[in-house]
Structure 1
Amino acid sequence: MMNRRTDVLEEIYNDEIVNFLADRYRTTSREILQRFLEQNDSVPEMESGTFRLEENEMAILRDMMARYHR
Structure 2
Amino acid sequence: MSYAYKLNEDVHHRAQGPQGRAEADEPAVYTIIQRMPIEADGRLRYRIRSKAGNIERVVTEEQLSYSQ
More helix by share: 1
Both proteins in one fold, TM over 0.5? no
Q: Which has the higher contact order (CA 8 A, sep 6+)?
A: 2
TM-score when scaled to structure 1? 0.24
More strand by share: 2
